[in-house]
Amino acid sequence: MNDVAHKITGAGQPDGIVACWSCNGPIAADALFCNTCWAVQPPRPMDHFARLGLDIRFAIDTAELDRRYFARQRQLHPDRFATRTPRERAISQNQAVCLNEAYEALKDPLSRATYLLKLRGIDTNPDGCNTIKDPTLLMEQMELREGLAAADTREAATQMLREAEAHVNQSLAHIGGAFAAGDLDTAGRETTRLKYLVKLVDEARTRRACFAPAAAAPAQS
Amino acid sequence: MNLLQIHEPGETPLPHEGERGLAVGIDLGTTNSVVAIAADQKAEVLRDEGGTSLIPSLVAYLDGGEVAVGEAARRVLLDRPEAVVGSIKRLMGRGAGDLKALAGALPYEIGPPAEGGMVRLKVGGRVLSPVEISADILRAVKARAETALARKVDRAVITVPAYFDDAARTATRDAARLAGLEVLRLVNEPTAAALAYGLDSAAEGLYAVYDLGGGTFDFSLLRLEKGVFQVLATGGDAALGGDDFDHAIADRFLKERGGPVDSTGAKLALVVARLAKECLSGQDEWIGTLTIGERASRHALDIRVLETLIDPLADRTIEICRHVLEDAGVEPAELGGVVLVGGSTRVPMVRRKVAGFFGREPLANIDPDEVVAVGAALQAEALTHGSDTLLLDVTPLSLGLETMGGLVEKIIERNTPIPVAKAQEFTTYQDGQSAMMIHVVQGEREMVDQCRSLARFELRGIPPMVAGAARIRVSFAVDADGLLTVSAAEQTTGIESRIEVKPSYGLSEDEMARMLRESIEHARDDMERRLLTEAQVEAERAASAVRSALAVDGDLLQSAERAAIEAVLTRVDAAVAGLDRDAIIAVAEELEEITKPFAERRMDRGIRSALAGRHVDEVNT
Ligand SMILES: [Zn+2]
């Protein structure tokens, strides 16, 4: 009988059952804790959505994302294991690293769209290639950047920032629609556009910061 | 409350956790240090007999090897300035090149550096590193806590400026180890302050913490929500604080006075400058004398001149606030409040500027000098007794590697939640290249020479290949204390060379070992105790796991088998209560061995029931 059990466990992990590292008993492969000895379990490979218990989709409720992330960090963060054994502390750190990675990838819509496309086998940034191949997108981005370069007061820069933010929101709506309709080509194209728009928002913020309000400008000494 | 339980001498030793000393929170400040303890989420700042909470971060090295810390060191300062050292926090993890001169003289006397490159100071006839001096402050802090609590204190949460780099964090950890304190966690000062403030006021929403201490400025943006303290962004300057106000004032006095200045003169000018500054937070004018050697000079300072002197410094802090908020896309009006931390926020002009920028009166309900220690104490309790609160912090500075042409390739961006681990692949640029220099830097600039160098190491033994064929994977990991570990491995051949990084300005293991040996009270037990505790907790963990398994699957054993396991468990308990590490390890191995058949039967049962469960599911669908 022992021999049989050995062969089955030796054959891999049938039915998603693995041995708990602490009590050596059976646990589900995706369990965070052993349900016999309550030892924390190491993170298993899974996609970022599964890591946080979410369905794979673009339109996620960010409040729900936060709730899931906080709830899991409450269980797994190294602060919960400060007085435990070195091994449990190391496992908890690995778990927290995976949670942070998943949260960072899904929190921001641009990285979420990029990740979703990657899961579907579409690379929106082949080999770090940064040239725009789509002529319409190229024209639009050039015009927006010319507009930003011409903004020479804090008000004008703020105006450009608002405009860029409006473009971002509109682009996000397109991406959401495309993912919902299963139109990955459009989602991919629009995600590339979003990447440039997000950069534009950053540049507009930097531009605006050049014109600090007079009241707090550094005093002459 | 079990806080003040006293262990009677001669009692049967308790399991090791009961023997542990108390865990406190320590704000190891540039100017002052504070220690606090918490129970049931209520923190208490520990005071001396006179009711004072602040321990001046001053150390005097007297004749006959005597060391005085705090007020006792301050009393020595005017008579024997060369024997006293202060503001040592500014030198943690720093090189001599980072020191700020005053009228051409440093307020420290620099000695030969330690072998690891760490700066060393000459003080009271001794040559000491900032780590050793900080350890002396921590020993005094620990002693204050032990006197106040009448119990042993051996664990602590220690706060560090959010903007402290890796070298400074490591130096702080080393200092605690020298002082006989186990660091449960390094917590960023603004985060600790937010914890104290949030738990005190049940605040929710976006909050900013403006922390202007003696030597460092930190600004953090946090989201507070139902016991979660999530740092969204942080910025600051690790070399901007109330000390710089003192420097500006002292500089003026020394110019007024004229003549040459040595390091003792610079030190005395700083003492008088601080006195003048502190007077001017309550009155409009100060007049006093600066005596260096035989010569005394009279100086006057009014509030208007003081404000002109420190105006550029205060503006720089506001610029940092603006930058962090703009970076995070947050308007000042969106904040639920701005919390003031640090003694330098007592300067009226600083308060005015903060109120002006944020468009509201800042919050200072908790004493700005004590709020950080209170937060640290609350976190110490949370770590040792469990808690529902959660601190989620970020890396303050980007971490990267030097690449071709002196450029920085960022691996971990600033404001990334920690703990974090990231890896990137690099390749060789010459045919047959057999080694690669890995230069780890911290900072936001694109060029290596504008960032802080943390460590250099060489990955050797790369097999000969054409340029660009090798795949060297460099992994960065930052733990919950904000400490970095870097390793590198060549991938294509499966040959792994791994090297752990030592910070450039840190102590080598040998230096650390020597200092531990020299610090008599810990030489015997530091390392041994560490290893013993590890063996104890590990054996306890294993025994408790087996007991849980017996409770659930005990029916898989025959009574003789069960009795045999229980006999070993009893011996594990006995070993854990003792001090023989080898005995603990031996009996824990025995437990592992004797429970193997039990574990196999449990796995077998688990797999069978999983298979059965799937059959049921398949029938149902
Ligand atoms: Zn288990």
Domain topology for B524-611: Substrate Binding Domain Of Dnak; Chain:A; Domain 2 (1.20.1270)
Residues of chain A with CATH 1.20.1280.20: 135-209
Q: What is the percent of chain A where pLDDT is above 70?
A: 85
Which residue type sits at B34?
V
Highest mean pLDDT among A136-140, A214-218, B228-232, B534-538: B228-232
Smallest CA-to-CA distance from B17 within A76, A85, A40 is with A85
CATH architecture of A135-209: Up-down Bundle (1.20)
Tell me how far the alpha carbon of residue A39 lies from the centroid of ligand 1, in angstroms: 6
Query: Is residue B79's pLDDT more than 60?
Result: yes
Secondary structure of residue B285 in the 3-state scheme? strand
Is residue B210 within 8 Å of B221, Cβ to Cβ?
no
Listed as own residue / partner, the contacts of B593-596 with beta carbons closer than 8 Å and 24 or more positions apart are: B594/B564, B594/B565, B594/B568, B595/A24, B595/B546, B595/B549, B595/B565, B596/A24
In contact, B357 and B318? CB cutoff 8 Å: yes
Between these two residues, B597 and B93, which has the higher pLDDT value?
A: B597
Residues of B within 8 A of A9 (CB-CB) are: 600, 603, 607
Give me the mean pLDDT over the B439-463 stretch: 83
pLDDT confidence of residue B588:
95
Least confident of B33-37, B176-180, B345-349, B516-520: B516-520
Residues in chain A: 221
Q: Which of 372-391 (B) contact A at CB < 8 A? A: 379, 382-384, 386, 388, 390-391
* Per-residue pLDDT at A5: 31
Expressed in angstroms and rounded, the spacing between residue A20 Cα and the centre of ligand 1 is 5
Phi-psi region at A51: left, alpha or beta (left = phi > 0; alpha = psi -120 to 50)? alpha
CB contact under 8 A, B417 and A15: no
Compute the half-sphere exposure of residue A23: CA atoms within 13 Å on the CB side of its CA.
Answer: 26
| End-to-end CA separation in angstroms for chain A | 87
Annotated active-site residue B27? The verdict is: yes
Say how far apart CA B414 and CA B77 lie, in whole Å: 40
B330 touches chain A (CB under 8 A): no
Indicate the pLDDT class of residue B176, thresholds 50, 70 and 90: very high
Q: How far is the CA of A43 from the centre of ligand 1 (A)?
A: 15
* pLDDT score, position B194: 93
What are φ and ψ of residue B365, in 5° steps? -60, -35
Query: What is the Cα–Cα distance from B228 to B580, expressed in whole angstroms?
Result: 41
Whole-number pLDDT of residue B610: 81
pLDDT tens for each residue of B453-488:
888 877 877 888 888 888 888 889 999 998 888 888
Q: pLDDT tier at B525 (50, 70, 90 boundaries)?
A: low
Which residues of chain B does CATH 3.30.420.40 include? Answer: 3-391
Task: Check residue A134 and give its pLDDT.
Answer: 76
What pLDDT does residue B469 have?
82
- pLDDT score recorded for residue B208: 95
pLDDT tens, position by position, A92-123: 999 999 999 999 999 999 999 999 999 998 88
Surface of B (389-418) touching A: CB under 8 A:
390-392, 416-418
Q: What is the pLDDT of residue B19?
A: 53
Q: Is the pLDDT of residue B613 over 80?
A: no
The pLDDT of residue B338 is above 80: yes
So what's the pLDDT on residue B100?
Answer: 65
Q: What is the pLDDT of residue A110?
A: 93
pTM of the model: 0.87
> Where in chain B do CATH 1.20.1270.10 domains reside?
524-611
Distance between CA A78 and CA A89 in Å, rounded? 6
Instruction: Convert the pLDDT of each residue in A141-158 to its tens digit.
Output: 888 888 888 888 888 888
- Segment B230-239 shows an average pLDDT of 90
Tokens of B503: 């910070």
Q: pLDDT, tens digit, for every residue of B6-23?
A: 222 322 233 344 456 789
Residue B253 has pLDDT above 50, yes or no: yes
Q: What is the per-residue pLDDT for A6? A: 33
For the ranges A126-130, B102-106, B469-473, B603-607, the lowest mean pLDDT is seen at: A126-130
Per-residue pLDDT for A51 more than 60?
yes
Residue B499: pLDDT band with limits 50, 70, 90: low
- Write out the E strands in A21-171: 26-28
Residue B509, pLDDT score: 63
User: Does B198 or B16 have the greater pLDDT score?
Assistant: B198
Q: Which stretch of DSSP H or E encloses residue B596? A: helix B596-620
Is B431's pLDDT higher than 80? yes
> Which one-letter DSSP state was computed for residue A79?
G
Alpha-carbon distance values, A14 to A44, A47, B621 (Å): 15, 21, 20
Output phi, psi for A144, to 5 deg: -65, -40
- Using the structure block, give the residue that is written with the tokens 């009574």: B559
Percentage of the residues of chain B whose pLDDT score is greater than 90 = 44
- B322/A84 touch (CB, cutoff 8 Å), yes or no: no
CATH topology classification for B399-520: Substrate Binding Domain Of DNAk; Chain A, domain 1 (2.60.34)
Q: Where in chain B is the domain with CATH 2.60.34.10?
A: 399-520
CA distance A98 to chain B (A): 8
pLDDT at residue B67 greater than cutoff 70: yes
Say if residue A8's pLDDT is above 70: no
> Does B19 qualify as catalytic in the annotation?
no
Q: How many CB atoms lie within 10 A of CB B278?
A: 15
The closest alpha carbon to B184, from B417, B385, B392, belongs to B385
Instruction: Identify which of A102-106, B65-69, B162-166, B382-386 has the greatest average pLDDT.
Output: A102-106
- Identify whether B246 is a catalytic site residue: no
Mean pLDDT estimate for chain A:
84
Q: Does the structure show a pLDDT above 60 at B130?
A: yes
- What's the confidence (pLDDT) of residue B104? 60
Range in B106-110, B221-225, B377-381, B492-496 with the lowest mean pLDDT: B492-496
What's the pLDDT at B262? 81
Two tokens at A205?
Answer: 């913020």
Mean pLDDT of the B324-340 span? 90
pLDDT at B457: 78
pLDDT for position B211: 94
Residue B475, classed as helix, strand or coil, is: strand
Cα Dmax for chain B: 100
Query: Given A39, A78, A86, which is nearest B419 (Cβ)?
Result: A78
Which of B19, B20, B350, B548 to mutate: most A Cβ within 10 Å? B548
Distance CA B358, CA A188 (A): 41
Q: What are phi and psi of B144, to 5 degrees?
A: -60, -45
**B312-324 average pLDDT score:** 92
What's the pLDDT score for residue B2?
A: 31
- Residues B537, B544 contacting (CB under 8 angstroms): no
pLDDT: which is higher, A95 or B522: A95
Active site residue B600: no
The two tokens of residue B426 are 């690099």
What class has domain A3-107? mainly alpha
Per-residue confidence (pLDDT) for residue B541, from 0 to 100: 92
Chain A's closest residue to B394, CA to CA, is: A100
Catalytic residue from among B132, B211, B370, B393: B211
The pLDDT, as a whole number, for residue A4 is 32
Residues of chain A found within 8 Å of residue B384, distances taken between Cβ atoms: 82-83
Q: Which residues sit opposite B453 in a β-bridge?
A: B441
DSSP3 helix / strand / coil % (chain B, rounded to 5) = 45, 25, 30
Taking residues B39-44, report their average pLDDT.
Answer: 92
pLDDT of the residue at B379: 95
Within chain A, all domains assigned CATH 1.10.287.110 are found at 3-107
B181 band by pLDDT with thresholds 50, 70 and 90: very high
Q: Grade residue A213 by pLDDT with cuts at 50, 70 and 90.
A: low
pLDDT at B10: 28
Whole-number pLDDT of residue A218? 41
Residue range B3-391 forms a domain whose CATH class is: alpha beta
Average pLDDT of chain B to the nearest whole number? 85
Is some CB atom of chain A closer than 8 A to the CB atom of B618?
Answer: no
**Chain pair A-B, CB pairs under 8 angstroms:** 163
What pLDDT is attached to residue B321? Answer: 95
B258-303 residue pLDDT tens: 888 888 888 888 889 988 988 888 888 898 888 888 888 899 888 8
Confidence of residue B1 (pLDDT cuts 50, 70, 90): very low
More confident residue, B293 or B606: B606
Token pair 């610079």 in the structure block, residue: B266
